[in-house]
A and B are shown apart, each in its own frame.
Chain A
Amino acid sequence: MNAPNKSGWKPGTPTDATSAMNGPDTVTGNRALMLEEPLIFEIGDSETTGVDFAFASRLDLAGVEQPKQPTAASEHRSRLGGLDRAEKIELPGLSEPETVRHYTRLSRQNYAIDLGLFPLGSCTMKHNPRLNEKVARLPGFADVHPLQPVSTVRGALEVINELAFWLIELTGMHGVAMSPKAGAHGELCGILCIRAALEARGDAREVVLVPESAHGTNPATAAFAGYRVEDIPANADGRVDLEALKARLGPDVAAVMITNPNTCGLFEPDMKAISDAVHEAGGFVYCDGANFNAIVGKVRPGDLGVDAMHINLHKTFSTPHGGGGPGSGPVVLSEALSPFAPLPYTARTDDGTVHLVEEEDAESFAQEHYGTTMQSFGRMTAFHGQMGMFTRALTYILSHGADGLKQVAEDAVLNANYVLRSCEDVLHAPFAKSGPCMHEALFGDKGFGGELTTLDLAKGMIDEGFHPMTMYFPLVVHGAMLIEPTETESKASLDQFIAALRHVSSRAMDGDEGLKSAPYYAPRRRLDETQAARKPVLAWEEPEAPSGTPTQSERGGR
């Protein structure tokens, strides 16, 4: 073989760190494909615009209809009531090519699922199919107003109903509130249903029990709804301590909020017994469904006595996270809670149909189907929820079907256990002995050498080309590292990740101080978060002109 690459190097071969990035300084600050990008406020100005307006143009193309000569504004007096915005707004504009380049350059400073494994535990960073994007952009979905007459949006309502049907079937629940905008909004929806149900029976309860391992949104939600939050004790295996929970239950407990599979990545084997005990004490069971991906198509929360559970469509059902949202958090509900669902909502009636119920017909629907007056706790958001996410999630669900979704759960769990068992000899895995994990593997920082921390390990993973795992969550494990590979990773990708994690873990165990300064190869070195919080700079401000006469170079160019 006379290939130029005689050493046999190929991607995946370790590089000699000392040889990398050791060239001379550059005058631009760029390093080839590592391109720095100023703020729009530094490169744009108020006079530039990247948009041409039809009415400002003089189109004169053969075969193209001439726009009517626009009626001059002066023929119609301005109706702004003297409120014209006189002051400069100072919004910078860029031409279209500059705009494309600005954001494309910025985009390259991001890690993303499209670039590699993104093992953020609890966040379910799975592949986002592009068919979903295509479907959501069909004009019949993307270009429809929420308040068009119902006769013109039948298809949109069918999408909501069809997705609602799937969510109900997959969870074995009775109804579903589709309007919540994300997981935390769904939690609020569920807790408010519970509160409304309790109030309807004249039962004012004050406490919501939440495990210490719960996601921060759980206690924040319960507090927002006016409840006092108390801890649920955990046992040494990282599960809810059933006996201790039973002992705490009583007439003051409105609900327990349980995450299942829990945030340690473990299934709560006593879930049914927990639900029974809570129900017996007159309370309700809220299940945080953020981890539904582990059991979708395998286990139905309705069979475990759950009363309300939100489903993050942006986790289990593959709608993109978009750098922080938007999400969607439909809440499936038990028969006891369904009547209290927010408006608008969907519910399945005995004849098997799923209805969309809004303010106008809420009363008549309740009379007809529940034989009571309307009991909905009210409205949580304008309009009907995250339609753009519904179309994506339904597209995903139909692509997988019942068999594919079951396979999703199985592969997600398989991948996580593979990581767990491939790394438990080099990293402390606090619950590994109690059996398999579900869709995520949990490790702690026990045994790290020197002053090294979970943060250091995470930053070391960045240099290896991976997004780090979730750090310091759940709170119940010291220096927690929660790894959720998801089912959309190949074995080859997992093997490379495992090799990297094993390597960085041994460095951490050995007290390799070099990790303290990682990452070395990211667009930025470690950022000073203390300074950011101490003297917050949260918006662009024009820098004050330096005193003195500007030099020639300062005056010229932009």
Chain B
Amino acid sequence: MRYLPLTDSDRGDMLATIGVSDIDDLFVDVPAEARLSGPIEGLPTHASEMAVEKHMRRLSKKNLAAADAAFFCGAGAYRHHVPATVDHIIQRGEFLTAYTPYQPEIAQGTLQMLFEFQSQVAKLYGCAVANASMYDGSTACWEAVAMAGRVTKKKRVVLSGALHPHYAEVVKTMAKFTEDEIAGGLPSMQGSPDDAGLIERIDENTSCVVVQYPDILGRISDLTEIADAAHKKGALLIVVNTEPVALGAIKAPGEMGADIVVGEGQSIGVGLQFGGPYLGLFAVRDPKHVRQMPGRLCGETVDAEGKRGFVLTLSTREQHIRREKATSNICTNSGLCALAFSVHMTLLGEKGLRTLAAENHRLACLAADKLDAIPGVRVLNDAFFNEFTVVLERDARELVRDLAEDDILAGVSLGRLFPHEEALSGGLLVAVTETASEEDIDALCSAISENMA
């Protein structure tokens, strides 16, 4: 048992020091009838590193890795090239095997990194302050809704129909227990989001409006009017972003008046990993809202010799101090994913991020034009970044399944996202990042045109 350093003679010596003769003497508080006498029956016993690796490798082979396919899936999780440096740094034991930085004198590495991360996120989102991360975009979205309720003392939540359905589901689930009233819907199958319709739904009792940008269909529009309308009624505008690379090309939500900006940070530094762990980003435009934020915050200070240093701060918002009055119950967050994001963002810098974004957009435009030229296929979006919706004259979900047989992962069908919604069943979300080659795009187009019938 390679992870256990004690030898039998150590164990004997230690039991003697403790003053008992048998290990079970240390388990006396467990009633005898609840104590198992031997290893649980019917389960395998310990195995060598080689044997375990073999087993896990066999399971991994049953999945089609994105790298082995022509790959166009998005809908809240995006495949980008992650520089080798990122994975090297997050595997340094001093980062990987540290805990939440409760003892700042010996955790400056994590703390300074978090301060840099918070600053990067704030700048990317056009906000004043970002926290040290949430679990993922969907839980960050719910936390933002909960925070808006605390700030406005109102309970009516207006969700855009073009919010990621999983995010909307999380909000609806949580709201059942907090008695928030949720007004949602389905995305309108139009070239541009129905901003006017959304604005109409805002009233005096609205705590917040939640809009995704780019939205679930990949559409983008200026959010300034929604922000103004929300503010007039005393509501907050929450903007959800699931593709941070987009913000290297399009306006920041904070610039357009968003009060809380949340999102998924996975695109930068964190791989696909079948959906987790990911990285929840959370920021506020106005520093006055900081004390209502959920999660950990890292701040600058000085040590006893006057040297700059960093600590976790404003923790009177948090569960370990405030208990049932905390702004959130979150404890463990996504620290290592925040590190991956920060390293990748540092490698990119503004120049790299903008170049990356431009290339994503260029390839997406190319793919959109080629797809639009196929009979029976129409691009829905007026505007988009690296993901757009095509409307097919056949069930898109079936098509995706068919194409997967030939190692083409054509995208995410709206039927997968919104099961049982007939009107959306022809919709296919196609995401095109820098990892897709022009050859992949051609392969996708010919496969789709061959399979339209």
Taking the complex as formed, is A514 at the interface, i.e. its CB lies under 8 A from any CB of chain B? no
User: Nearest 10 pairs between A and B by C-beta?
Assistant: A93-B349, A322-B336, A383-B275, A81-B383, A140-B60, A378-B173, A324-B335, A114-B93, A155-B62, A146-B275
CB distance from A231 to the nearest CB of B (A): 11
Chain A residues with Cβ under 8 A from B297's Cβ? Answer: 536, 538
Chain B residues with Cβ under 8 A from A111's Cβ? Answer: 94, 98, 103, 106-107
Chain A residues with Cβ under 8 A from B5's Cβ? Answer: 488-491, 493
Taking the complex as formed, is A187 at the interface, i.e. its CB lies under 8 A from any CB of chain B? yes
Chain B residues with Cβ under 8 A from A488's Cβ? Answer: 3-5
CA distance A139 to B274 in the complex (A): 11
CB distance from B13 to the nearest CB of A (A): 7
Report how many residues on chain A are interfacial, defined by Cβ distance under 8 Å.
Answer: 212
Cβ–Cβ contact B271 & A226, under 8 A: no
- 1/0 contact string of A398-433 vs chain B (CB within 8 Å): 111111111110110111011001100000000000
CA distance A71 to B179 in the complex (A): 53
Taking the complex as formed, is A145 at the interface, i.e. its CB lies under 8 A from any CB of chain B? yes
Cβ–Cβ contact B353 & A91, under 8 A: yes
Q: A84-B249, A85-B247, A325-B133 are in contact. Are A133 and B331 (CB under 8 A)?
A: no
Which of B44-52, B154-162, B230-238, B445-453 is the interface stretch?
A: B44-52
Beyond A80-B383, A89-B247, 6 extra complex contacts between A and B, CB < 8 Å? A81-B382, A143-B65, A320-B97, A326-B335, A342-B173, A402-B43
- 1/0 contact string of A204-229 vs chain B (CB within 8 Å): 00000000000111011111111001
CA distance A267 to B348 in the complex (A): 51
Q: A298-B35, A388-B273, A536-B313 are in contact. Are A436 and B20 (CB under 8 A)?
A: yes
Cβ–Cβ contact B53 & A131, under 8 A: yes
Report how many residues on chain B are interfacial, defined by Cβ distance under 8 Å.
Answer: 219
Taking the complex as formed, is A446 at the interface, i.e. its CB lies under 8 A from any CB of chain B? no
- 1/0 contact string of B64-77 vs chain A (CB within 8 Å): 11111001010111
Cβ–Cβ contact B65 & A140, under 8 A: yes
Taking the complex as formed, is A33 at the interface, i.e. its CB lies under 8 A from any CB of chain B? no
Chain B residues with Cβ under 8 A from A328's Cβ? Answer: 276-277
Taking the complex as formed, is B250 at the interface, i.e. its CB lies under 8 A from any CB of chain A? yes
CB distance from B273 to the nearest CB of A (A): 4
Q: A216-B326, A386-B277, A421-B17 are in contact. Are A109 and B108 (CB under 8 A)?
A: yes
Chain B residues with Cβ under 8 A from A185's Cβ? Answer: 135, 139, 330
Taking the complex as formed, is A62 at the interface, i.e. its CB lies under 8 A from any CB of chain B? no
Cβ–Cβ contact A491 & B6, under 8 A: yes
CA distance A215 to B332 in the complex (A): 13
Cβ–Cβ contact A104 & B166, under 8 A: no
CA distance A531 to B308 in the complex (A): 12
Cβ–Cβ contact B329 & A221, under 8 A: yes
Closest chain B residue, CB of each to CB of A361:
B419
Cβ–Cβ contact A524 & B135, under 8 A: no
- CB interface residues, B 1-35, toward A, < 8 Å: 1-6, 10-11, 13-15, 17-20, 23, 25-31, 33-35
- 1/0 contact string of A377-394 vs chain B (CB within 8 Å): 111111111111101001
Chain A residues with Cβ under 8 A from B106's Cβ? Answer: 109-111, 462, 467, 519, 522-523
- CB interface residues, B 312-329, toward A, < 8 Å: 313-316, 318-326, 328-329
Which of A5-13, A46-54, A544-552 is the interface stretch?
A: A46-54
Taking the complex as formed, is A321 at the interface, i.e. its CB lies under 8 A from any CB of chain B? yes
Taking the complex as formed, is A148 at the interface, i.e. its CB lies under 8 A from any CB of chain B? yes
Q: Which of A48, A71, A152 contacts B409 (CB 8 A)?
A: A152
Cβ–Cβ contact B173 & A379, under 8 A: yes
- CB interface residues, B 148-185, toward A, < 8 Å: 164, 166-167, 169-170, 172-173, 176-179
CB distance from B358 to the nearest CB of A (A): 7
Cβ–Cβ contact B40 & A152, under 8 A: no
Cβ–Cβ contact A50 & B346, under 8 A: yes
Cβ–Cβ contact A298 & B30, under 8 A: yes
Q: A91-B124, A107-B92, A408-B4 are in contact. Are A51 and B83 (CB under 8 A)?
A: yes
Cβ–Cβ contact A93 & B296, under 8 A: no
